[in-house]
Structure 1
Amino acid sequence: MYFESLANELLLDIFEFFDGIDLFRSFYGLNTRFNNLLSTHFHPYRFDFRSISKHDFNFICHHCLPLIIERIISLKLSNDDETPNLPNFLFSYGFTLDKFIRLQSLSLYSISSFKELNDIIVRCHQLPYLTHLYLIDGANDGEKKDTQLLFNNIWHLKKLHHLSINYILLGKLCLSRISVESLSIQYLYIENITCDLKNLLHLFKYTPNLRYLNAAIHYNVADEQIPIQICSITSLKLTFESSVPVMIKLFQMMPNLYSLTLKTMDIYLSGNKWKKILLNYLPKLQIFRLRMYFEFPHEKNINEQFEKLINTYRSSFWIKKHQWFVQCDSIPFGTYNHGILYTLPYAFNSFICYDTLISKYTCPDEKTYWRYKHVNSLQYMKYKINPTDYLNILPIQFPNIQHLKIGFPFDEQFYSFIPSLNQLKSLEIVLGENYIYQQLQTLINLSPCLYSLRLFYSFDSKVSVKQITSSSIRRLSFITKCSMTLAYFNNDECTDLAYSQLGQQCEVLVIKIENRNNVLILINIMKNLRSLVVQCKVDTWDKRNTSLNEDELVEWLRLSLPSTYSICRDTNETSYIRIWIGENINNTFLSH
C-alpha cells in the first residue's frame, strides 16, 4: 500500500505527530491533495522554530503561515545561537503574537531584552486560549521598572494556567513588585529566581490559587513573620539555601502539602530531626524526595560521623512506615569531607559523579534503587579511582542520559554506570594533557543521536578535531580555559576544521578566530552551515565607547556576505558576532 492511498482521515491523524515545519517540508508541494489537507483541513499545528535554517524560516513565513496562522496552538521561538534574532524577523513579516488567535502554549527562549518580552506579552493579552507560558534561558538586562511591568503583564493574562520563568539573573525584588492578582495561575516554575519569605508571601497574595510551586529560597533571616497560609499548594519543589528555622516557617505556610521535593545546601539534619519536622509541620505529606548537601565537621572522625548519621535513617518511620530509603556519599575536598544524602530512588534530573570516600544506603539491595532514571544530565568528575577501589562502587545505572560533561582521560569504570548512550544529545568534554583521541572517538561511536559537541581544552588540541568522525553531530563549540594565544583558530586550522568530516556536516559552529577572513573560509567550505558564532581576535569594537552604527567589523561582514544573511552582536556576550546564514539559491526548501 502506498502512503498516498491512505484516507484523508488517516493522513490527518498521522500529521498530528509532526511539527509544523516538518509537515510543510515533507508534504507541501507534492500535489494539490496534500496542499489542500495542510492549508484547509489540518488544525492543531505546532511550530518549534528553535533549530530552523534562515532559508526554511523565510519559506515558512512567505508560503505557510499566512495559510494556517489561526490554527497554530503551540509556538516556540528562540533568540539563541542557532536562530539569532528570529522573533524579530517573525514579527517583521507582520506575524505579531495577537495574530495567533488559537495559541494555547508559547515558549520564548534566550530573549534578553525585557522591552521585547513586554511587547510580546502585551500582544498575548488578546489570546483567549493561552494557558501555558514558558520564558527560558534568558538574562535580565532591564531596570526595575521593566521587571515590574513584565511580571504585571504576565499576571494579567486571564487564562494562564502554567507559568515557567527560568531567567537566572532575576533577583528577589521582581516578585515584590507584582501588583496584579492572577486567579488562573496554578503551576508556577521559578526555580532560578531567588526568594525570601517576604517575597514569597507577596507572591502568594497575588497568586492565591497556586497548586504547584518550583522555587528557590536563599539567604533569609529567621525572624520573619508569617501572616498568611496558602492552603491550595499541595506540591512543592524547592532549592533551599538558608537556615532550619526559616525552612520550618516555610512549611508552616503550606499545611496541605502532599508532595515535597527538596534540595538543601549547608543543612545537616539527622533522620530523627527530619522525622520531627515532617510530623510537626507537614502532617499530610506522603511523597518526600530529598537531596541534602553538607560538610562534615572536620575535627571529628569521618567514619564514626558517617555511620552515626546513616543509622538515624534506619528507624521504622523511614524504612517501614514510608519506605523512604536514603543513600549518603562522603566526598573528600582537601582537608574537608562533604556529604550528599539523598532519597532513593533518586528523584532529580542532574547528578555529579565524584571521587567518593564512603557510600552507604538503607534501601534493599535491589537493582530498581540503583537505576537513576530521572537523571538526564550527568557530570563525570572521577579522576583518582584505583582498580582496588572498584569493589566499593555501587552498581548505579544512568539509563536516560541526554547531556554529559566529562573530563578526558577518564577511567573505564564510567561505562559500568551507563547501560546505553542512545539518548545522548549533547557532550561537553574537558581535554587534559593526557587526552587520548581513541577514547573520545569510542565515546562518540556509542552515541548515535549525539547532536552537540562542546570542547573545553587546557592545551592546543585543535589539530586533533579533524580526526574525529560522527554521523550525527551537527553543532560544534570550541571554548578554551587557558592563554588567549591558544584560543583562536588561524587560517590553516579553520581550513582543516571546515574540510573535516565534522566540519562538512556541521550546521551550527561557535568558534574563536584570528582574523575576519576566517569567517569567509568557514562559510565557503562548510556547505551545511546555517549559523556561525565567532569571536574575532582583531575585533576592536568596544561597547563602552562605540555605538552600534560604528561597528566596523559587523559592517565589513555585511558588505562581504549576501544580504540574505543576518549579522549582529550577541547582546550578552558582546565580543561574539552571530551570523544566521540565509539562502543563496531559489526560494525552495534546502535538501536535508
Structure 2
Amino acid sequence: MKLELLANEILLNVFEFLQGVDLLRTFHRLNARFDNLLFIHFRSNYLNFKSVSKTDFDIVCQQHLPLIFDRIIALRLSENDETPQQTRCFFAYNITLGQFTHLQSLSLYYICDNVIMDIMMNTLCQMTSLIHLDIHICPFHFSYINNIWSLPRLVRFGILTILHQISWTNVPTIKSLSLQHLSIQADPDYDFSLERILKYTPHLRSFRTHLDRDYHSHKQLSYDALSIESLHLSSDYSHNTLQQLLKHVPNLTKLIVQTDGKYLDGHIWEKIMTDYLPKLKIFRLNMTFDKRAQIDAEQLVDEILDTFRTNFWINEHKWFVQCCWKLWRNENLFYLYTLPHTFSMSTLDDKWQFKSTNPQDISYVHPQSTCVLSFRCSDIRQLHVSLPLQDKLWPVISSFDRLSSISVQSFNDIFYMSQLQALIDKAPRLYSLAFSGKSSPDIAKLTSKSIRRLDLSDIETYFNKPACISLCHSSLGIQCEVLLIQTNDRQNIPYLVKKMKNLRALCVKCNDKATRCNLSSWLRQRLPLNCSISDEANFAPSVRVQLWIR
C-alpha cells in the first residue's frame, strides 16, 4: 500500500512517532495535502532541536522555517553536548523568536551565551501567545523575572539553573494573573520570598522549589495559601521549617518531598498530614541521610519502618515505604522512599540491603542477611551501576523498559563486560552508556541496537591512536552518534570525525601540549567548514572542545 492512500487520521497518528525535523525534511512542500497535515501536526507538537544533526538543523532553518514561522506553536532549543552552539547557528540565519507569532511553548536548554540569553529574554514581550516557558541550565538574571510575569497568557514557568546568589526577595514587581504552575530549581544559595511570589502570582496552583537550611521564619507565610494544590519540595530543612510551611497550604492534594541529610519518621509525617493536610491524596517521599558506622543500621531501619506501619499508612492510605542502606567507608548510608519508586534515577549496587513495609512485596532476599532487595523500578530512566554484581541478584532484576541512560563504575579496573552486556540486554530503549574508572573498557565486547551515545570522558586513561582505531571498528563505535572522550593526541580528533560515519557530535578533552591554547583554530583548518567548533575551555591539564559535525 502506498503512503498517500492512508487516511489523514492514520497519517497524523504516524506523525506522532516521528521527530518534527524529520517530518519537515520528508514531507514539507511535497504537496498541499501533506503541508496541511504538517500544519495540523505542529499545532499540538514540538519542533524539537534537542538531538538534531547539524545537517538537518541547517536545512530546516534555511529552507523550511521561514515558510512556517506562524504555524509553529512549540519550540525547543538546546546547546548540550549533542548540539553545541545551536543558538548561535540559529540566530546566524537571521531568525528571531519574535517571528514565531503563534508560539505557545518555548524550552531553552543549556544556553551558555549571556548575550544570546539577553536577546531572547528581551524578546518575550513580543510573544503574547506564550503559555509554557521552560529554562534549563542557562544564565539567568533577576531582571528577566518581570519580563516573564508580564506575559499575558503564561500558565506554566519552570527554571532549573545556577542563580549565583540572585535574590528573588524583591521580584517580581508585576502581578501575573495567568501563571498557575511554577518550578524554581536552583542552587542552595538562591533566596526567595514565598509570600511575595504568592502576592504577585495569586492564582498559583502548583509550586516546586528547594528550601535550604537558611530558609528562616521571616520567609515563611503569614497567611494561608488557599490556591496551592500541589507542592514539590527538595530540602535539607528541619521538622519545624516544614511544619510552618505546610500548615499554610490546607488545600494541598499532592505533596512530593525529597530531602538530603535529614529524615522525618512516619509519626511526624502522619501528624503533619492529620493536622494540616486534610485533602492530601498523593504523597511521594524520597529521603537520604547517613549515620556513623558504629550504629546498628538494621535496627535503626526497623525502628524507622515501624513508624510507617500504623493504620494511617497501611490501611487508610495504603502508602508503603522501602528503606535501603549500606556501609560506605566510615558511614552508613540510608535511602528511604515511597513505593512504587517514582523517581527517575536509581543506583544498582548489591552492597545495598533493603526492607519494606509492604506485606505483599515480592522481593529478593539478600544472601547475607534477612533484608529485602527489590529492583522492580519500572519508571527508572537513569541508572548508576557499580560492578561487579553478585550472580544471585540477576534473576530478580526485571527488564528496564524505560531506561535510557546507564552510568557504569568499577572500583577494581575491571568492567565485567559479560554482566554489563546482560544488563544492556534488559534495556531495549537504552540510548546512553557512560563509564568511569581508571582503565578503558573493551567496547568491542558490547552490542546494542539502541545505544547511540558513548561517554568515555570520565575514564582516567587517555585514548591513544590504537584505542581510537579499536573504538571506530567496534559495533557501538560504528553506530555512535554522540561521543565524549579524552585523548592525548590532537590528531585523533579529525580521525574520529572521519572514521565514525554516524558521528554528529563530539566532545573532546585533549591533553596535547602542542595545542593547549589554539586547538579550536587548529581543528577549523582540518574539519569541514559546516562543522561548528566551540572555543576551547580549560580543564587543566586538558582543554575541552565541542564539535557539531554533521
**Structure 2 counterpart of 1:585:** none
How far the C-alpha of 1:302 sits from its partner, in A, is 4.7
Q: Establish whether residue 566 from structure 1 lines up as the match of residue 532 from structure 2.
A: yes
Q: Establish whether residue 530 from structure 1 lines up as the match of residue 508 from structure 2.
A: no
How far the C-alpha of 1:189 sits from its partner, in A, is 1.6
Give the letter for the 1:511 counterpart: I
Q: Is the 8 A contact 2:509 2:543 kept in 1?
A: yes
Partners of 2:257 and 2:221 in 1: CA distance: 21
Q: Is the 8 A contact 2:169 2:192 kept in 1?
A: no
Q: Establish whether residue 207 from structure 1 lines up as the match of residue 173 from structure 2.
A: no
**Matching residue within 148, 152, 165 for 1:154:** 148
How far the C-alpha of 1:517 sits from its partner, in A, is 1.5
Indicate how the Cα distance of structure 1 residues 465 and 200 shifts in structure 2: closer, same or farther if over 3 A, else same.
Answer: same
Q: Structure 1 regions of 5+ residues with no counterpart?
A: 141-145, 371-384, 543-550, 583-592
Partners of 1:568 and 1:111 in 2: CA distance: 13
Q: SS in structure 1 opposite 2:391?
A: coil
How far the C-alpha of 1:476 sits from its partner, in A, is 1.5
Q: Is the 8 A contact 1:424 1:449 kept in 2?
A: yes
CA RMSD across the alignment: 3.1
How far the C-alpha of 1:197 sits from its partner, in A, is 8.3
**Matching residue within 326, 334, 337 for 1:331:** 326
**Matching residue within 366, 384, 387 for 1:405:** 384
Q: Is the 8 A contact 2:124 2:147 kept in 1?
A: no
How far the C-alpha of 1:478 sits from its partner, in A, is 0.9
**Structure 2 counterpart of 1:373:** none
**Structure 2 counterpart of 1:242:** 237
Q: Is the 8 A contact 2:347 2:385 kept in 1?
A: no
How far the C-alpha of 1:406 sits from its partner, in A, is 0.9
Indicate how the Cα distance of structure 1 residues 333 and 521 shifts in structure 2: closer, same or farther if over 3 A, else same.
Answer: closer
Partners of 1:270 and 1:78 in 2: CA distance: 41
Q: SS in structure 2 opposite 1:289?
A: strand
**Structure 1 counterpart of 2:55:** 55
Q: Deviations for 1:56-85, whole angstroms, at most 9, x for unmatched residues? A: 111112221122121011111111111111
How many residue pairs were aligned?
545
Give the letter for the 2:186 counterpart: N
How far the C-alpha of 1:37 sits from its partner, in A, is 4.2
TM-score normalised by the chain length of structure 1: 0.83
Give the letter for the 1:19 counterpart: Q
**Matching residue within 497, 517, 521 for 2:495:** 521
| Matches for 1:4-153 after TM superposition, within 5 Å | 4-7=4-7, 11=11, 14-15=14-15, 18-28=18-28, 31-32=30-31, 36-37=35-36, 44=43, 46-136=46-136, 138=137, 140=139, 147-153=141-147
Q: Structure 2 regions of 5+ residues with no counterpart?
A: none
Q: Is the 8 A contact 1:197 1:220 kept in 2?
A: no
Indicate how the Cα distance of structure 1 residues 192 and 412 shifts in structure 2: closer, same or farther if over 3 A, else same.
Answer: farther
How far the C-alpha of 1:424 sits from its partner, in A, is 2.8
User: Which deviates more, 100-109 or 327-336?
Assistant: 327-336
How far the C-alpha of 1:194 sits from its partner, in A, is 3.6
Indicate how the Cα distance of structure 1 residues 4 and 76 shifts in structure 2: closer, same or farther if over 3 A, else same.
Answer: same
Partners of 1:572 and 1:219 in 2: CA distance: 33
**Structure 1 counterpart of 2:183:** 189
User: Which deviates more, 503-512 or 564-573?
Assistant: 564-573
**Structure 1 counterpart of 2:549:** 581
Partners of 2:367 and 2:10 in 1: CA distance: 60
Q: Is the 8 A contact 1:172 1:194 kept in 2?
A: no
Q: SS in structure 2 opposite 1:90?
A: helix
Q: Establish whether residue 470 from structure 1 lines up as the match of residue 457 from structure 2.
A: no
Q: Establish whether residue 454 from structure 1 lines up as the match of residue 431 from structure 2.
A: no
Q: SS in structure 2 opposite 1:575?
A: strand
User: Which deviates more, 148-157 or 51-60?
Assistant: 148-157
Q: Is the 8 A contact 2:515 2:522 kept in 1?
A: no
How far the C-alpha of 1:100 sits from its partner, in A, is 0.8
Q: Is the 8 A contact 1:114 1:150 kept in 2?
A: no
Q: Deviations for 1:73-104, whole angstroms, at most 9, x for unmatched residues? A: 11111111111111221122122111111111
How far the C-alpha of 1:208 sits from its partner, in A, is 2.2
Q: Is the 8 A contact 2:356 2:372 kept in 1?
A: no
Give the letter for the 2:372 counterpart: I
**Structure 1 counterpart of 2:400:** 421
**Identical columns (%):** 35
Q: Is the 8 A contact 2:50 2:77 kept in 1?
A: yes
How far the C-alpha of 1:577 sits from its partner, in A, is 0.8
Q: Establish whether residue 180 from structure 1 lines up as the match of residue 174 from structure 2.
A: yes
Partners of 1:387 and 1:247 in 2: CA distance: 35
How far the C-alpha of 1:474 sits from its partner, in A, is 1.7
Indicate how the Cα distance of structure 1 residues 489 and 325 shifts in structure 2: closer, same or farther if over 3 A, else same.
Answer: closer
Q: Deviations for 1:215-240, whole angstroms, at most 9, x for unmatched residues? A: 11011265436434322101111112
Give the letter for the 1:521 counterpart: Y
| Matches for 1:311-460 after TM superposition, within 5 Å | 311-334=306-329, 336-353=331-348, 359-366=354-361, 388-389=367-368, 392-431=371-410, 432-459=412-439
**Structure 1 counterpart of 2:275:** 280
